[in-house]
Amino acid sequence: IREACSLTDNQFVILHIGGTGPSRNIETVIEALQFMDEKCVFVIQGPGIETFESDYIDLAERFGVAERVYCLPPVERDQVIETAASADCGIVMLKNLCLNFYYFYPNKFFEYMLAGLPVACSNFPEVKAHTEREECGVTFDPSSPESIAESIGVLSENRERARDMGAKGRTSVI
């Protein structure tokens, strides 16, 4: 990811890997970037990116963060964990649109942990309980850009702690 986007080790890579589109709440994360340290960048990688990329970049331009949003094509299923491992955290930010989303345990939640990444996820009951119990990441209100930014700040401002959370997450799923 860093090579594909020409990013430095100093930049904090927030990764969304997976499906794109309105139900994924990517727009709120883009908005949240304006409240984060400038070293934080958001990489969106997955199916449908060719359909939504221009909308994401337009939105990023409106919030003055276009230079910190990167859109990459999807990788093959067997490359997801290896690709994710090059980020600094994985984000899962579904909105409470239905019970399936509210009580979700999406594949990407576990893929990020297998990659050794701390997770930043919606504060819904199941994933919040797992995240707190295993001390493997942070949670936020997915409808609040400020809440997302604050949670990501916990990780980006203390990378050693973030790496420790990622290691705990990996241990919890292997």
- Cα separation, 67 vs 73, in Å, equals 18
What is the Rg, in whole angstroms, of the alpha carbon atoms belonging to the chain?
Answer: 14
Distances (CA, A) of 134 to 51, 53, 112: 36, 34, 14
The predicted model gives 30-43 an average pLDDT of 98
69-72: strand order across its sheet: 69-72, 40-45, 12-17, 89-92, 119-122, 137-140
Q: Is the pLDDT of residue 58 over 90?
A: yes
Please write the tens of the pLDDT for every residue from 146-160: 999 999 999 999 999
Q: How confident is the model at residue 106 (pLDDT cuts 50, 70, 90)?
A: confident
Q: What percent of the chain has pLDDT over 70?
A: 97
End-to-end CA distance of the chain: 24
> For 66, which DSSP code?
G
17: left (phi over 0), alpha (psi -120 to 50) or beta: beta
Model pLDDT, residue 102: 66
Model pLDDT, residue 22: 84
- Cα separation, 68 vs 57, in Å, equals 10
> For 85, which DSSP code?
T
Distances (CA, A) of 33 to 9, 21, 76: 18, 18, 28
Residue 133 pairs in a beta bridge with none
